[in-house]
Chain A
Amino acid sequence: QQQVKQSPQSLIVQKGGIPIINCAYENTAFDYFPWYQQFPGKGPALLIAIRPDVSEKKEGRFTISFNKSAKQFSLHIMDSQPGDSATYFCAAKILTGGGNKLTFGTGTQLKVEL
């Protein structure tokens, strides 16, 4: 059972474009939603995270938009650069009483072309 659905599977944008990656979750108990970036041969690294009490969070060129009623959240990368080419994973977690398990989406392979 896939609790966090992520799309698209892959994405190609031009330098300076704004790639958008979408995730949807099923479990309403989730209350913490991080995004991770993974380069080939490396482990995932935390990019940005959001709690459901806010609808948007920005950190540098990365923005999370959150729609609690739709159970959806998305990552926007402003002014994308070739160095942003990586695989991006959304994830979800239950902070209280949910242990410490992160449930990940299936990933989006982003390529930013010059």
Chain B
Amino acid sequence: DTGVSQDPRHKITKRGQNVTFRCDPISEHNRLYWYRQTLGQGPEFLTYFQNEAQLEKSRLLSDRFSAERPKGSFSTLEIQRTEQGDSAMYLCASSRGRGAANEKLFFGSGTQLSVL
């Protein structure tokens, strides 16, 4: 396994701009998750995909946020009209998706977003 890959590692943007992050899960992992982590806090669940289907979205995911996983492989998370409160680490995780619900999640190193 090459691990979960996220790009970019860091993103600095001005308030009001749109940003897009990419996540490449571990090969053949069917489930993909997005979490957000702010300084001094634990990760907060944003959304979850089983293959290309987005099966769950948190109430934290406002209409400015959209996530896609068009071919069931990589995923993108877009934030439109960024606000300073969007500044956080955006973490992607994946799991095999074929076993029990307590299967292991593998996290990427995250994309650190700073909105100025």
Contact = CB atoms under 8 A, between A and B. Distances in A.
B102 A32 contact: yes
A99 B101 CA distance: 9
B32 to A, nearest CB: 10
Contacts of A96: 101
Interface string A36-77: 000001111110010100000000000000000000000000
Contacts, number: 60
B62 interface: no
Interface stretch (B14-22, B36-44, B63-71, B72-80): B36-44
Interface in B29-61: 31, 33, 35, 40-45, 48, 55-56, 58
Contact of A100 (B4, B48, B108): B48
Interface residues of A, number: 26
Interface in B63-116: 91, 93, 95, 100-102, 104-105, 107-110
A93 interface: yes
Q: In the complex, which range does the number of interface residues on chain B fall in?
A: 20 to 34
Contacts of B40: 106-107
Interface string A94-114: 011001111111110000000
Contact of A43 (B48, B101, B110): B110
Interface of A: 4, 6, 32, 34, 41-46, 49, 51, 89, 91, 93, 95-96, 99-107
